[in-house]
């Protein structure tokens, strides 16, 4: 594969690529409701078939999953599995966007230049379309893929990927052909530092419910003899974390594994370039509130300690009028991010035990939403080395290797036994405001991702030919 020819064609056809990304983002594909999911995943199916993939869509109890293979590189070539998704979060309950969230409009921002604003702009949809457009360009210039590709396109990742484990098990024979797994992501920070991630936190997502003895909202004067579920729930929630957000649940930290020697090595290197001020700026926060003695300590706490987060609380009336009521129910969403060695089942157990021990089990019902396991890989694998080399080959001088990704993605289905595949998470391109108002990706970052992905395929083919393993 002659990389130079592909890079030149990426530049020539970038306007078309950008239009394709915008069109893709304008098609809603809401994970929780299923709105637009079928239309979106069939668009991907059509695109993959045009690229010579043998691709099929498998229905699941919720949203479908797409599986595709292009093995034209031949039996002697290495095989990479790409794990991605097309579903996005709802925009319900978010503050006013500067543009309609599914209009995929381009706006000028002084610090970035043109940015594309849309729900899903910083998640998988534009990454997937940029990747597919790159494969199209490789085909158009008459080049052949240097590696075999397997692609899994999930459409329920934002709902915890509940069907993915069973799906992967059903396709295990084909997936075993892959030496390693790639999770593509816009991973450049606002300084222009390109990041790659070697792990992913797990998650336990919970819904907490509290019900009044009454079947309806009451006049607030009745609070003297009717229990208020808002009081009960908020007291329960306040027992989960301290004022700084540090977990207070007994037993939650019992299984937490200390960073390994390799983790410490990577954390020390990362601390040399990491800028807490830039991290806060990217989050549009005045500062990072985690208490730490040094940058190394801050990073260790952030990446290798579990977090307990209250995503939302719903109860009563909070309108502009003075409506004094006693609500008949209260609910909250809580997500707990897991670090290496923690098991979702044990975390659920300690949460239930804690609520029982503080005397709230009679009043607060804990409902399990979904779970994901944590996953870890190494920087000493061909796939990690290839992604890092592709950054440099694309002209990026500043690269950071993060031992963990602070968010949760379903990479564990490949990293856990029996598959035990090495993996890497990353890619060029900058975006922000994930799951929030005015989610965006920098337009030029899409082009940069395409060029980086081209180099990545080439470098992985070269490195994999030098040895075995991922």
What is the distance, to the nearest Å, from the Cα of residue 91 to the centroid of all Cα atoms in its chain? 17
Q: Considering only CA atoms, which of 35, 52, 131, 15 is closest in space to residue 89? A: 35
Would you state the pLDDT for residue 357? 97
Would you state the pLDDT for residue 464? 66
* Among candidate residues 339, 372, 405, the one where a domain is terminated: 372
The model's pTM? 0.94
Question: Looking at residue 381, which CATH number applies to its domain?
Answer: 3.40.630.10
Q: Rounded CA gap, 185 and 131, in Å? A: 11
**86 shares its domain with 46:** yes
Q: Considering only CA atoms, which of 196, 202, 201, 200 is closest in space to residue 381? A: 196
Would you state the pLDDT for residue 245? 85
Tens of pLDDT, residues 92-128: 878 789 999 999 999 998 788 999 999 999 989 999 9
For the chain, the average pLDDT equals 94
Would you state the pLDDT for residue 350? 97
Lowest mean pLDDT among 216-220, 228-232, 312-316, 465-469: 465-469
Longest dimension (CA), the chain: 78
Per-residue tokens: 229: 């579920």
Lowest mean pLDDT among 137-141, 318-322, 415-419: 318-322
Q: Rounded CA gap, 331 and 329, in Å? A: 7
Query: Is residue 279 a part of any domain in this protein?
Result: no
Per DSSP, the residues of 19-85 read: HHHHHHHHS--BTTT-TTHHHHHHHHHHHHHHTT-EEEEE--SSS-EEEEEE-TT-TTS-EEEEEEE
**100 shares its domain with 140:** yes
Asked whether the predicted pLDDT for residue 465 surpasses 80, the reply is no
Q: Rounded CA gap, 100 and 161, in Å? A: 27
Would you state the pLDDT for residue 469? 55
Tens of pLDDT, residues 144-177: 999 999 999 999 999 999 999 999 999 999 999 9
* Among candidate residues 323, 350, 372, the one where a domain is terminated: 372
Q: How confident is the model at residue 466 (pLDDT cuts 50, 70, 90)?
A: low
Q: How confident is the model at residue 287 (pLDDT cuts 50, 70, 90)?
A: confident
Q: How confident is the model at residue 414 (pLDDT cuts 50, 70, 90)?
A: very high
Query: Is residue 297 a part of any domain in this protein?
Result: no
Query: Cis ω on the peptide bond leading into residue 265 (within 30° of 0)?
Result: no
Asked whether the predicted pLDDT for residue 467 surpasses 80, the reply is no
Lowest mean pLDDT among 24-33, 90-99, 249-258, 422-431: 90-99
Q: How confident is the model at residue 23 (pLDDT cuts 50, 70, 90)?
A: very high
Query: Is residue 298 a part of any domain in this protein?
Result: no
Asked whether the predicted pLDDT for residue 246 surpasses 80, the reply is yes
Would you state the pLDDT for residue 42? 97
Asked whether the predicted pLDDT for residue 293 surpasses 90, the reply is no
Mean pLDDT value of segment 290-310: 92
- What 3-state DSSP class applies to 414? helix
Query: Is residue 54 a part of any domain in this protein?
Result: yes
Total domain count, the chain: 2
Distances from the Cα of 263 to the Cαs of 300, 304, 402, 441, in angstroms?
Answer: 9, 10, 9, 30
Would you state the pLDDT for residue 1? 77
**445 shares its domain with 432:** yes
Q: Rounded CA gap, 457 and 231, in Å? A: 56
- Structural domain for 226, as ranges: 202-256+305-372
Would you state the pLDDT for residue 38? 96
Q: How many helices (H) and strands (E) does the chain have?
A: 14, 20
**153 shares its domain with 240:** no
**196 shares its domain with 107:** yes
**380 shares its domain with 460:** yes
**428 shares its domain with 331:** no
* Among candidate residues 351, 372, 393, the one where a domain is terminated: 372
3-state helix, strand, coil split of the chain in percent (to 5) is: 35, 25, 40
**207 shares its domain with 196:** no
The percentage of residues in the chain with a pLDDT greater than 70, rounded to a whole number, is 99
What is the distance, to the nearest Å, from the Cα of residue 394 to the centroid of all Cα atoms in its chain? 24
Per-residue tokens: 161: 């990927």
Asked whether the predicted pLDDT for residue 425 surpasses 80, the reply is yes
Contacts 24+ apart (CB under 8 A), 30-33: 30/87, 30/88, 30/89, 30/90, 31/63, 31/87, 31/88, 31/89, 31/90, 31/155, 31/156, 31/157, 31/158, 31/159, 32/89, 32/90, 32/158, 32/159, 33/90
Contacts 24+ apart (CB under 8 A), 226-232: 226/326, 227/363, 228/326, 228/327, 229/315, 229/327, 229/328, 229/329, 229/330, 229/363, 230/315, 230/316, 230/327, 230/330, 232/330, 232/360, 232/363, 232/364
Asked whether the predicted pLDDT for residue 70 surpasses 60, the reply is yes
**59 shares its domain with 183:** yes
Question: Looking at residue 349, which CATH number applies to its domain?
Answer: 3.30.70.360
Would you state the pLDDT for residue 178? 97
**136 shares its domain with 162:** yes
Would you state the pLDDT for residue 292? 84
- Cβ atoms of 430 and 446 closer than 8 Å: no
- Cβ atoms of 331 and 315 closer than 8 Å: yes
Mean pLDDT value of segment 400-428: 97
**367 shares its domain with 379:** no
Per-residue tokens: 76: 């002697």
Q: How far apart are the first and last CA of the chain?
A: 21
């Amino acid at each position: 594969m002659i990389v130079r020819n592909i890079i030149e064609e990426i530049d020539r056809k970038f306007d078309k690529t950008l239009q394709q990304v915008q069109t893709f983002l304008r098609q809603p594909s809401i994970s929780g409701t299923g709105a637009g999911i079928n239309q979106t995943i069939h668009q991907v199916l059509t695109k993959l078939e045009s690229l010579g993939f043998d691709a099929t869509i498998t229905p699941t109890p919720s949203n479908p999953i797409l599986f595709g293979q292009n093995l034209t590189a031949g039996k002697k070539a290495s095989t990479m599995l790409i794990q991605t998704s097309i579903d996005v979060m709802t925009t319900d309950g978010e503050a006013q966007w500067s543009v309609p969230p599914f209009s995929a409009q381009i706006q000028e921002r002084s610090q970035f230049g043109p940015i594309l604003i849309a729900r899903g702009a910083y998640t998988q949809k534009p990454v997937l379309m940029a990747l597919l457009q790159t494969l199209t360009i490789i085909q158009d210039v008459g080049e052949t893929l240097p590696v075999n590709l397997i692609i899994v396109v999930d459409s329920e990742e934002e709902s915890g990927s509940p069907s993915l484990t069973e799906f992967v098990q059903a396709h295990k024979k084909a997936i075993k052909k892959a030496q390693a797994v790639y999770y593509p992501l816009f991973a450049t920070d606002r300084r222009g530092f390109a990041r790659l991630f070697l792990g992913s936190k797990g998650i336990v997502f919970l819904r907490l419910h509290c019900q009044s003895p009454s079947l309806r909202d009451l006049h607030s004067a009745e609070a003297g003899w009717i229990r208020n579920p808002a009081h009960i729930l908020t007291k329960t929630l306040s027992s989960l974390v301290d004022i700084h957000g540090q977990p207070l649940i007994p037993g939650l930290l019992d299984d937490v594994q200390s960073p390994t020697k390799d983790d410490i090595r990577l954390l020390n290197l990362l601390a040399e370039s990491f800028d807490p001020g830039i991290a806060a700026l990217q989050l549009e926060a005045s500062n990072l509130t985690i208490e730490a003695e040094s940058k190394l300590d801050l990073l260790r706490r952030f990446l290798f300690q579990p977090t307990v987060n209250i995503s939302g609380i719903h109860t009563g009336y909070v309108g502009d009028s003075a409506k004094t009521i006693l609500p008949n129910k209260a609910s909250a969403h809580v997500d707990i991010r897991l670090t290496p060695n923690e098991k979702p089942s044990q975390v659920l157990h300690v949460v239930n035990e804690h609520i029982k021990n503080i005397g709230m089990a009679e009043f607060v019902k804990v409902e399990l939403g979904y779970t994901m396991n944590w996953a870890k890989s190494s920087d000493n694998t061909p796939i990690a080395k290839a992604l890092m080399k592709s950054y440099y080959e694309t002209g990026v001088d500043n690269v950071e290797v993060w031992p963990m990704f602070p968010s949760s993605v379903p990479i564990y289905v490949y990293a856990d036994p029996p598959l035990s595949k090495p993996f890497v998470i990353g890619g060029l391109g900058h975006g922000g405001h994930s799951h929030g108002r005015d989610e965006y990706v920098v337009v030029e970052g899409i082009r940069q991702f395409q060029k980086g992905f081209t180099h990545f395929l080439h470098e992985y083919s070269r490195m994999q030919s030098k040895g075995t393993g991922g």
